[in-house]
Amino acid sequence: MLFIIFVILTPIVVWLLLHFMSSRKKSDSEAEPEAPIELCAMCQEEFPMTELLEKEIGGYGRVYCFCGTCIENLYNEYQNKTDIITGE
C-alpha cells in the first residue's frame, strides 16, 4: 500500500499541483501585459520602452534610450548655442 502511495499517487498529485499553478500564473500574466522598463541614458530615470527613443551609437552597436525631456533639453541647448554663434 505504501508503494502505491509513494510511487504512483505522489507524482500524480505533484504534477496536478504544478499544472494548476502554471496555468494560473499564465492567466495572470495575460491579463496585464506591461511594456518593459528601461533607463534613460542621460537622466537615469526609468520609463516604459514605449516612451523612449532608441538610437544605436558608435560602431559597437550599442543602443541607448532617451526620454522626451532629455531630447527636448538637448535641442534647446543646441538652439541656444547656434543662436549665440550666429549672433541672433
pLDDT at 30: 53
Q: Is 41 found in the same domain as 20?
A: no
2 or 47, which is more confident?
47
Count structural domains, the chain: 2
Kindly compute the dihedral angle of the four CA atoms of residues 23, 26, 27, 30, in this order, to the nearest 10 degrees: -160
75 contacts 62 by C-beta, under 8 angstroms: no
| Reported pTM | 0.56
Longest dimension (CA), the chain: 96
Q: Is 55 found in the same domain as 77?
A: yes
Q: Which residue range is the domain that position 20 belongs to?
A: 1-33
Question: Which residue type sits at 38?
Answer: E
Q: Residues near 85 by Cβ (< 8 Å), separated by ≥ 6?
A: none
CA Rg, the chain, in Å?
27
